[in-house]
Amino acid sequence: MANLQEGGSGEHIWSRRNLLGVGGWLGILGALHAGGVAMVALLFPRVLFEPPTTFKAGPPSRFNVGEVSERFMMEYRVWIVREEGGLYALSGICTHLGCTPRWFGAEDKFKCPCHGSGFRRSGVNFEGPAPRPLERLKITRSDDGELVIDKAVKYRHELGEWAKPGAYLKYSRASV
């Protein structure tokens, strides 16, 4: 009797109460499922795995005074410039539209092949449409004495940032 629809002809096995009960349970199961999915998603946070921004460049003595090293251009787009009193790292990204300039040692300048911007070895722009100097990148030494370049930390000359610690690493043979 309880399984027959109230007032019905007996064709329906499920009563309205049964249907409501099943619907309720389905709702609860659905909510539990959604909650479970959310919990599992929490265990696997969406993280962008990007390449590390820092790299080691070996000991400072590896670089000769007066050298503009291109050893790290292919992999990191970074020049390392050695002077008598220290070193700095220059970003190989043109400040006009982002092309990669080339180093012309004989002319002592970087030249961008895209629109002709020129930069001195310091990184300062002097010709073409580039609106500002190349950026310098953070250069420090690790505990084991190697140079460490951090591409995520940039220093802009026009903002007076080249004078900041990290934009230039003082180094001389005597300071090994």
**CB-based burial label for 30 (10 Å; 0-12, 13-18, 19+):** exposed
**Which has the closest alpha carbon to 65: 85, 88, 92?**
85
Among 16, 17, 56, 115, indicate the residue that binds ligand FES (CB under 6 A).
Answer: 115
How far is C-alpha 74 from the chain's CA centre? 17
User: Contacting ligand FES (CB under 6 A), which of 57, 80, 130, 134?
Assistant: 130
Using CB under 6 A as the binding rule, whether residue 112 contacts ligand FES is answered as yes
Question: Binding to ligand FES by residue 96, rule CB under 6 A?
Answer: yes
| Residue 114 contacts ligand FES per CB under 6 A | yes
Residue 99 near ligand FES by CB under 6 A: yes
Instruction: Among 20, 22, 31, 97, indicate the residue that binds ligand FES (CB under 6 A).
Output: 97
The amino acid present at 160, given as its one-letter code, is G
Query: Do the beta carbons of residue 118 and residue 49 sit within 8 Å?
Result: no
- Least Cα distance to 141 among 83, 87, 94, 100 occurs for 87
Q: Which stretch binds ligand FES (CB under 6 A): 15-23, 80-88, 93-101, 139-147?
A: 93-101
Residues near ligand FES, by CB under 6 A: 94, 96-99, 112, 114-117, 128-130
